[in-house]
Amino acid sequence: MDQVATLQLESVDLQSSRNNREHHTQEMGVKRLTVRRGQLFYLRLSFSRPFQSQSDHITFVAETGPKPSELLGTRATFFLTRVRPGNVWSASDFTIDSNSLHVSLFTPANAVIGHYILKIEISQGQGHSVTYPLGTFILLFNPWSPEDDVYLPSEILLQEYVMQDYGFVYKGHERFITSWPWNYGQFEEDIIDICFEILNKSLHYLKNPAKDCSQRNDVVYVCRVVSAMINSNDDNGVLQGNWSEDYSEGVSPLEWNGSVAILRQWSARGGQPVKYGQCWVFASVMCTVMRCLGVPTRVVSNFRSAHNVDRNLTIDTYYDRNAEMLSTQKRDKIWNFHVWNECWMIRKDLPPGYNGWQVLDPTPQQTSSGLFCCGPASVKAIREGDVHLAYDTPFVYAEVNADEVIWLLRDGQAQEILAHNTSSIGKEISTKMVGSDQHQSITSSYKYPEGSPEERAVFMKASRKMLGPQRASSPFLDLLESGGLRDEPAQLQLHLARTPEWGQDLQLLLRIRRVPDSTHPQGPIGLLVRFCAQALLHGGGPRKPLWRHTVRVNLDFGKETQRPLLLPYSNYRGKLTDEKLIRVSGIAEVEETGRSMLVLKDISLEPPHLSIEVSERAEVGKALRVHVTLTNTLMVALSSCTMVLEGSGLVNGQITKDLGTLVAGHTLQIQLDLYPTKAGPRQLQVLISSNEVKEIKGYKDIFVTAAGAP
């Protein structure tokens, strides 16, 4: 009998186009094979002769990481079988077509993610084997697979939280929420490589590369590593934080339009941290990385967000008798807003019931296990006050639930509690609404309704866990339990008389109503109300006063009075911070008793608006005319104006144009052509910055049709 010729591999077709489409990775391109774990993908192997399953033996080998090991789960060997054997590496369902072998490969839903090398070893009978490289592939998390820990059983939500490559960040103030467009760009060609570069520069990898890679099957581990690597406090992370408002050595956090430019700069400079980021930049870049790796992720804003360093669940703020908010050396603060991420996953490391959305916060506020990272903390655990559960749940709980105690300071001593607010922190927790440009409040996911019996019960439960048994019966906790409302002889309110506009005088209205109290149940009272206005920094701290005013009022029992207040533009011109937020504080002193009352109003000032229009239908490869219009509504010129355009699938990288000076009251009109590269829903982001205003932002949703589509 003639000996059969040795089987030799002649060519391989990784079928990247088909596989990437079926694995929802075609947006990353089809030049490379990019697949998701827990799902079949297909190869065609061409040999020197027909494959004979009885005598030809093929072993597949898949390896990832620096020291692949079957023990660590970074190396898999598996044979050709007729039937797929379950949730393990396998090659099955093969068909023979002349000299070609069509085979289905399966990766388990708990496989390590990463760049893989795929090889086959061919042997005949007991003879020696020959190894052939088949190529490389990238393996990602699979939220479409019911076996994967990141499984999300809704195609609408998958499109939003994995496939959508643009979105919004919500900023400002809980009563004046502004939406900022952001280009996540997770499917831009090089972003997947940069994501793994981030993992490979982490301290865990540098310490023990083989062990770190072996843990990349665990989404909890991966997202903790990413949370630490987006900031640069411990490592060569992606972004350097800066809250000083001096950005002369880098880019202002306000001037970023998206994640792609940041990630590319970090990679191109060998892992040098990019200057500069603040919370919304950190969270948006983390959203890009996690969506790219296949983890459903969204960006969440918490308005009036506590940073409670000593974990006592109260933040103290101080005013003097002239209503000036005082800076403090304490590290505790109330951010005007703070932005973090939520990632969707099963928490096998926790008791049942805590799956779903988990908080991850890449902004460097506190260390966790020695590194500046935060989470994943189960949103359900936060709502129920289960602060003993991993990771960093007490810190996040305080961010949305701490109480605020406002003190009157005299001669450097805290003399009087002006207010104890149990519901002023953790307001309007917001994220982008699914399938819409609007924001959606998700506050009820984090806590029961403010003031409800459930909310106070959860607060006390969390307090006792966080404060410890030795402080569980303290007068402080009794104060928290009571809510601490004071008896006041009058009610004071500050209202805006008209919508505030940057560059215009601000008109306010003070309303005072005399009400009965235990000290003065009847009769008139005299009030001396001292006002102070200060620009607020992002961290909630104040700048020096920019306006002061005093009002004296005599008020009979049961009566109400109004007084107009005017804060001229000349007082705040050139004195606003990045936040464009002014706090007007008033302290009313009761002349008969010397007691004080506090009234506050935060005013958010928006920059001028720009408009973006497109003149015709957008089609891949065809010129698309874009019109950008900006009217300077301020009373001063905008100098050194520059425009930056960005948008995945519409612009390759960024387009930058110098626009010169825009005189007050004048309008700027710009026309330019874009050449879309990808079909489907896209978003164009436009930023115009000047010396006077760093961020005038706008966006346009554009649907791009495929080339030659009818």
Residues paired with 101 in a beta bridge: 45, 96
Q: Is 93 a catalytic residue?
A: no
Report the 10 Å Cβ neighbour count for 53: 12
Q: What is the rounded CA–CA span in Å between residue 138 and residue 130?
A: 25
Q: Tell me the three state secondary structure of residue 353.
A: coil
Largest CA distance in the chain: 121
Burial status of residue 568 (CB atoms within 10 A of its CB: 0-12, 13-18, 19 or more): exposed
Q: Tell me the three state secondary structure of residue 237.
A: coil
- The alpha carbon of 399 is separated from its chain's Cα centroid by a whole number of angstroms, namely 15
Q: Which run of H or E residues covers position 207? A: helix 203-207
Of 195, 213, 223, 279, the active-site residue reads 279
411 assigned binding-site residue: no
Residues paired with 46 in a beta bridge: 11, 100
Q: Which run of H or E residues covers position 142? A: none
Q: What is the rounded CA–CA span in Å between residue 209 and residue 199?
A: 10
Angle (CA) 696 496 567, round 5°: 75
Q: What is the rounded CA–CA span in Å between residue 377 and residue 358?
A: 5
Contact 148, 109 (CB under 8 A): yes
Q: Tell me the three state secondary structure of residue 466.
A: helix
Residues written for the chain: 710
For 536, residues 6+ apart whose C-beta sits below 8 A from its C-beta are: 336, 542, 543, 577, 579, 581, 582, 583, 602
Q: What is the rounded CA–CA span in Å between residue 655 and residue 673?
A: 11
Contact 345, 149 (CB under 8 A): yes
Residues paired with 533 in a beta bridge: 547, 584
Six-digit token string for 27: 């947006």
Of 472, 476, 485, 341, whose CA–CA distance to 422 is shortest?
485
Contact 165, 27 (CB under 8 A): yes
517 assigned binding-site residue: no
455 assigned binding-site residue: yes
Burial status of residue 658 (CB atoms within 10 A of its CB: 0-12, 13-18, 19 or more): exposed
Q: Which run of H or E residues covers position 476? A: helix 475-482
R_g of the chain computed on alpha carbons? 30
Six-digit token string for 134: 């088949």
Of 361, 386, 392, 602, the active-site residue reads 361
In sign, the C-alpha dihedral spanning 458, 309, 259, 337 is: positive
Angstrom CA distances, 513 to 212, 492, 553, 588, stand at 64, 7, 11, 13
212 assigned binding-site residue: no
Six-digit token string for 656: 């930058």
For 570, residues 6+ apart whose C-beta sits below 8 A from its C-beta are: none
Catalytic sites, residue numbers: 279, 338, 361
User: Binding site residues, as ranges?
Assistant: 401, 403, 450, 455
User: Binding site residues for Ca(2+), as ranges?
Assistant: 401, 403, 450, 455
